[in-house]
Amino acid sequence: MKPMRVFITGASSGIGKGIAQHLAPDHEVIISDCSAAAIKQAQQDLKRQGCHVEAQVFDVCDATDLAQLRKMADENRIDVLINNAGIQYVKPLEEFPPEKWQQLINVMLVGPAMTTRAVLPAMKANNFGRIINIGSVHSLVASAYKSAYVAAKHGLLGLAKTVALEVAAANITINTLCPGYVDTDMVRDQIKQQAEAHQIPESTVINDIMLKSMPKKEFIEISELAGTVAFLMGPYAKNITAQAITLDGGWTAR
Ligand code: NAD
């Protein structure tokens, strides 16, 4: 595969940072995140591991940052956009603060739509583009108390199907990875919160709540997502578009 320029959102930690680490040896990777301190730290961490990446402060909800992304794509080419930034908030709908609900939708649905909007003109001009959304098993099924997250992640599939139709003639594909639980800071926070809320040990949250949904009884590894991203960037995936690609240890088989 020829080296590509890859822009990843929300890449100062977890899945985004891990995908950057995986791709950096073969591609030009730009990691971005809304936290300036965190993205600089991530760049340094990756450098220590021998991975050289560009780093950019970028908030997927900020109009100025989005205009900057459009400019960057127009001037410097972006072959691959990975819409990864995400946040979680867990509450029954009637207790869910409206501004939190809106924020989750903004970060995980409006954000990816706007980043995609920003890179499409240049991708069309280059007659090449690969857009990969990091969705979730919650793009396909629900869990109680995650209404905003589930709605945003389901919405990503509709966004991808629509954009896929609009750009198919320009050799641009857009797909959504749908992982079950991945062992990241986001999930570790949820484990801690649930253990405190239910007054149970963290191991009980992991085994009896989280992995209960996953018949293979193991968290998805970031390397599995990174390998799938690399596959979607490659030549054998050129006709795979508008798809939900599920890595869930059997969760959605039931
Ligand atoms: P994470 O918290 O480690 O990473 C999310 C990153 O997004 C953070 O670095 C955060 O600073 C950044 N971010 C938040 N708001 C932003 C904004 N407005 N603009 C730019 N960046 C912003 O979590 P993660 O587990 O690595 O999650 C990455 C993606 O994977 C998310 O979309 C998440 O929904 C999805 N996902 C995670 C899991 C899991 O189990 N960890 C499972 C399925 C899907």
66 and 22 inside one domain? yes
**Residue 237 contacts residue 32 (beta carbons within 8 Å):** no
Binned at pLDDT 50, 70 and 90, residue 66 comes out as very high
106 and 146 inside one domain? yes
Q: Which of 70, 45, 81 is nearest to 172 (CA)?
A: 81
210 and 100 inside one domain? no
Q: How many domains does the chain have?
A: 2
- Residue from 15, 68, 84 whose mutation best tests the ligand 1 pocket (most atoms within 8 A of CB): 15
What is the model's pTM? Answer: 0.97
61 and 124 inside one domain? yes
- Backbone dihedral angles phi then psi of residue 145, each to the nearest 5 degrees: 75, 10
Mean pLDDT over residues 38-44, rounded?
Answer: 98
| DSSP letter for each residue of 5-43 | EEEESS-SSHHHHHHHHHHTTTSEEEEEES-HHHHHHHH
Residue 78 is predicted with a pLDDT of: 98
Rounded (to 5) percent helix, strand, coil in the chain: 55, 15, 30
Residue 33 is predicted with a pLDDT of: 98
109 and 233 inside one domain? yes
189 and 100 inside one domain? no
Give the Cα separation of 223 and 228 in Å (integer). Answer: 8
78 and 34 inside one domain? yes
202 and 124 inside one domain? no
48 dihedral zone (left: phi>0; alpha: psi -120 to 50; beta): alpha
Average pLDDT, the chain: 97
Which residues form the pocket of ligand 1, taking CB atoms under 6 Å from any ligand atom? 9-10, 12-16, 33-35, 38, 59-61, 84-87, 107-108, 134, 136, 179, 181-182, 184-187
pLDDT digits (tens, 9 = 90+) for 162-198: 999 999 999 999 999 999 999 898 788 889 998 999 9
Residue 219 is predicted with a pLDDT of: 96
- The DSSP secondary-structure symbol of 216 reads T
State which residues form the domain around 209: 183-219
Task: Decide if 149 is catalytic.
Answer: yes
What is the chain's Cα-based Rg?
18
Give the Cα separation of 10 and 39 in Å (integer). Answer: 9
CA of 33 to the centre of ligand 1 (A): 10
Residue 69 is predicted with a pLDDT of: 98
Within 10 angstroms of residue 197's Cβ, the number of other Cβ atoms is: 10
Residue 190 is predicted with a pLDDT of: 84
22 and 148 inside one domain? yes
Residue 152 is predicted with a pLDDT of: 99
pLDDT digits (tens, 9 = 90+) for 104-144: 999 999 999 999 999 999 999 999 999 999 999 999 999 99
Residue 1 is predicted with a pLDDT of: 83
Q: Which of 77, 89, 83 is nearest to 174 (CA)?
A: 83
Assigned domain for 254 exists? no
109 and 190 inside one domain? no
Assigned domain for 19 exists? yes
User: At 142, which CATH number?
Assistant: 3.40.50.720
Percent of the chain with pLDDT over 70: 100
Assigned domain for 211 exists? yes
